[in-house]
Every structure is written in C-alpha cells, then in structure tokens.
Amino acid sequence: MTRHAVLALAVPAILVPAALLALLAPPRIPPPLDVPVGHSFAHPSPAYARLLERHVREGTIEGVSLRVVDYAAIPGDPDYRLALAELAAARPEAMRREERMAFWINAYNLLAIRLVVERYPIGSILDVRDGHADAWNIEAGTAGGRAVSLSWIGDTLRDFGDPRIHFTLVAAAVSCPDLRAYDPVGLDSQLEAAARSFLANDRRGARATAQGVDVSRLLHGNHRDFERVGGVLAFVSSHAPPGVAERLEGVDLHDLGKLPYDWSLNDLARTSVARRD
C-alpha cells in the first residue's frame, strides 16, 4: 500500500467518543467570513473553482506532463480563505449522493493544498508531520462542520464503492492525478475522464514495456477497491490506451510492474509551463 493509498484513521481508545472530540476540537482555519452555518453552495464551491482556475495550469516537471499548482500565490488570494470557509460551513448530510461525492473529493484536494501552503516552501507532502502522524492522519482542516483528516475523507469516499475516486485525489505530488474541480452534474463522466486521462499518461498511469505493463502504485496499493469492478487488470484493460490494454492478455495482477512514484511537489515553481488557451 502506498502512502497515497488512503490509510484508516487511527483513533485512540479513550472514554470520550471520537465524534464528540471532533466537534469539540477548535478549528485551525480562519473564521468563516460571511458564509452562514449550513450554507449549501454550488459544487464545486465558487471560491474553490476560481482558486483552481487562477492557480492550476498545464506544465511539465522533469519531463512529466501534469497540472501544476502555484502554491506560492494561493495564500494571498482571498478566494483561498473563502473556499475554506465554504468547506467548513457546508452540510454534506443534506446533499444527494453525487453532491456528497463531489464535495468530499474537492474537500480532500483543497485540504491537501492547505497542508502544503501553510508550510510552504516544502519539497513534498511527505514533509508534513505532527509528531508521529503523517499528512494523511493529522487534522487537515474543517469540512462539513467537523475537523477531518485526509485519511478520514478518503475512507468516507471509499464507502461510495467507486474505485475511480483514486484518480481524483491529489496529495500534491508529481505522480498524483491531475488537480481539477469536480461537480455533481455529470460526475460519472468526470470520473471516467479522470481515470482515462491518468492511465493515458505513461509516466504516471500505465506504460507498455518489453516485459508487459507497468502501472501506477495507486492501482497496486488499492487493488482491493477494484475487485468490485472486475479487478485491476479488467479496469486497466477497459480504460487504458489500446497499446497498453493489448499487452494485458494472459497476465495476472502479480505480473504488473510498478511505475516509480514521484512524491516531490507538483509545484509551478519547478516547472516549465505550457501556454494556456
């Protein structure tokens, strides 16, 4: 299991229920501006969508094509604080299934950004720690009125039973999927596009080799999640480019190689930036 594979949140055995502790824990984000508690905003939240539009773009890092993030500029953008406030004030329990799924995907990615920008400059999200806890298991911020970790959000998304979530969650690394805002309207097609786009990238997703096929460690580490859709091999065969899919005939999961996983930051400062339309 890779670090990007969502880890179960370890909860100490104490007398006070963990859910109560989460409610009592003081938030570590700025106050929620003028966003009312229980506010139900469009998905993705307007501020979050604007934030990504301004600070995420196509680029390359060490020859890898990806969407890079301008972490240095994000803290100074008023929409960063507003996006966190909207995230904290939202009430996902009142949302429909597609709304909740899009909400938690966007929440994971926004709070991963927060973990980075509050410590920037850093070389990797692996540098984020609090004592013995890593970036996935520390409190990342407030979402839906409760303090959450990336691991907790990841486990919540797993409950939806759709392994394509693994192509949407971005832990600020070069080998992670591309960062985008997700909307419940047409969410299925967005998830499908995210999976196909990731697997089409031969440096991050899947690559045919003389020996067979190498795939991202995201697939190896989360292979059990793909069993409900026929397994990793079936999923890659149906979503990867033809040159990769045809190399999967007659192999099993243990025959798949592993692409190197680059945990360095997907930072605009490290990239040559492609021209935007």
Q: Evaluate the CA torsion angle 48, 49, 52, 53 in order and state its sign.
A: negative
95: pLDDT strictly greater than 90 = yes
pLDDT at 101 over 90: yes
The whole-angstrom separation of Cα 205 and Cα 9 is 27
| Both tokens assigned to 156 | 């919540």
pLDDT single digits (tens) 3-52: 444 433 333 333 444 443 443 444 343 434 444 444 444 567 899 999 99
Residue 249 DSSP one-character state:
T
Mean pLDDT (the chain) is 87
Q: What pLDDT was estimated at residue 29?
A: 37
Position 250 scores a pLDDT of 86
pLDDT, residue 43, reads 66
Q: Is the peptide bond before 121 cis (omega within 30 degrees of 0)?
A: yes
Secondary structure, 3-state, 159-195:
CCCCHHHHHCCCCCECCCCCCCCCCCCCHHHHHHHHH
Instruction: Name residues whose C-beta falls within 8 Å of residue 207's C-beta, 6 or more positions apart in sequence.
Output: 213, 214, 215, 244, 259
Query: Taking the domains of the chain in order of start, what are their residue ranges?
Result: 17-160, 187-261
- The kind and range of the H/E element at 76 are none
The answer to whether residues 89 and 128 touch, using CB atoms and an 8 Å cutoff, is no
Q: What is the pLDDT of residues 169-182, one digit of tens each?
A: 999 999 999 999 99
| 159 half-sphere exposure, CB direction, 13 A CA radius | 12
Q: What is the pLDDT of residue 44?
A: 79
Whether 220 shows a pLDDT value over 70: the answer reads yes
Q: Which of residues 15 and 76 earns the better pLDDT score?
A: 76
- What confidence category does residue 224 fall into, taking pLDDT thresholds of 50, 70 and 90? very high
Check if the beta carbon of residue 167 is closer than 8 Å to that of residue 121: no
- 231 token code pair: 């397994």
More confidently predicted of 250 and 145: 145
How much is the average pLDDT of 266-274? 85
Q: Looking at residue 10, what is its pLDDT?
A: 35
